[in-house]
Amino acid sequence: MKTFDVIVLGLGAHGSSALYHLSKQNIKICGIERFKPPHDFGSSHGQSRIIRQAYHESPMYVPLVKKAYELWNELEQISGRKILLKTGGIILGNENSNVVRGARLSAETHDVPYEYLNNQEIAKRFPALKPTEDTVAVVEQSAGILFPEECIKINLQLAEKNGAELLLNEIVESIHIKTDWVEITTNKDTYAAEKLIVSVGAWLSDLLPELRLPLTVKRQVLFWFKNTDEQRQLFIKPEHLPIFIWQYTNEHIFYGFPDLGNGLKIAPHHEGQSIHPDLLSKEVFEDEIDQMKNILNNYFSISAVFNFSDVCMYTNTPDEHFIIDYYPSNKNIIIASPCSGHGFKFSSAIGEILSNMATEKDLDFNISPFRINRF
């Protein structure tokens, strides 16, 4: 049986980053992945991910995202490739909306510079946007766009260059806990490791059913729309439109990205149906496209024409905070489900945390809010 110091299961956003950070140490490591990453069957595809600091979900994420920025910058320098485009960000809603109040709270708690705009200031500064009268906005200059496929590719290339073994197109079927090591059976072979990081995204409940984790996997559609209004073409380019998150009713949020070449990218947040990840269909229906077109008509001053779509998955916890913890009865297994639709931006920092957990180093961050026993 092949043996390793650490094996990482699943090489998406967090697994590829964990493998890269582990590969900087002098240990024998491998990553096992059911597809060939980056791929578009999990949660980390679709050309772009938002990164921002005025974090409306909770101020506790701000130190983590600041660390993530540092590590993304470091990865850009080491690889010599572009992975982060700073566009700034605009968070919109009424003054009592969760996103606006939350963004201001995080910014004020952690000294993130921001501006607070009323509806007229928003329309003047960002002519693609059509705010309603009660809309206000938090504008943050440090926000921007990560290129997720490129991030994963770089993590894996660097890890392999540093000596990590990559076992691709290999499906992990079961994990067997031994006294002081772990055995992993795949569709091809059996491996042993002292430590295991399980970062299999939407398939986590399939691989560890005994933990009965309260996870729900949801189908999420992404849409790209071209602007056919010649005179307003420039308004959706990154020079005039930052990344946006808009809470347009109490229960509904959409978010999106300026036009990087394929049109404006826009998507609803947390509205998909529950699915099993093996049954994810890429088919997108006319009524879904129409719904998004209505949103564009109501909240944007452009002539939007549908270009194409993609489908991805959120793996949600009930409180929408992450899971980063040890297996309840065994510290040799580390479990990571940092998703709930907002985990990518942190993956540079979470990969380092997972690597430190596996090599029993001190952690720079308090992971207690992410423990499994909170459920």
Ligand X SMILES: Cc1cc2nc3c(=O)[nH]c(=O)nc-3n(C[C@H](O)[C@H](O)[C@H](O)COP(=O)(O)OP(=O)(O)OC[C@H]3O[C@@H](n4cnc5c(N)ncnc54)[C@H](O)[C@@H]3O)c2cc1C
Q: Which residues bind ligand X (CB under 6 A)?
A: 9-15, 32-35, 37, 42-44, 46, 49-50, 171-172, 199-201, 203, 207, 220, 222, 267, 312-314, 338-339, 341-345
Instruction: Find out whether 72 and 78 touch, Cβ atoms under 8 Å.
Output: no
| Nearest C-alpha neighbor of 148 from the set 72, 46, 79 | 46
Q: Which residues contact 4 (CB under 8 A, 6 or more apart)?
A: 28, 29, 30, 165, 191, 192, 193, 194
Residue nearest to ligand X (CB): 12
Which is nearer to ligand X, 124 or 282 (by Cβ)? Answer: 282
Q: Which residues contact 305 (CB under 8 A, 6 or more apart)?
A: 225, 226, 227, 228
Q: Output the smallest distance, CB 317 to ligand X, in A.
A: 11
Which is nearer to ligand X, 50 or 64 (by Cβ)? Answer: 50
Which is nearer to ligand X, 114 or 314 (by Cβ)? Answer: 314
Q: Output the smallest distance, CB 52 to ligand X, in A.
A: 8
Which is nearer to ligand X, 199 or 227 (by Cβ)? Answer: 199
Q: Output the smallest distance, CB 26 to ligand X, in A.
A: 25
Which is nearer to ligand X, 205 or 356 (by Cβ)? Answer: 205
| Nearest C-alpha neighbor of 345 from the set 178, 168, 142, 163 | 142
- The DSSP 8-state label assigned to residue 27 in this structure reads S
Which is nearer to ligand X, 73 or 132 (by Cβ)? Answer: 73
Reduced to 3 states (helix: H, G, I; strand: E, B; else coil), residue 289 is: helix
Cα(9)–Cα(24) distance, rounded to whole angstroms? 18
Q: Output the smallest distance, CB 143 to ligand X, in A.
A: 10
Q: Output the smallest distance, CB 320 to ligand X, in A.
A: 11
Q: Output the smallest distance, CB 278 to ligand X, in A.
A: 10
Q: Label each residue of 126-148 as H, E or C.
A: CCCECCCCCCEEEEECCCEEECH
Cα(21)–Cα(34) distance, rounded to whole angstroms? 21
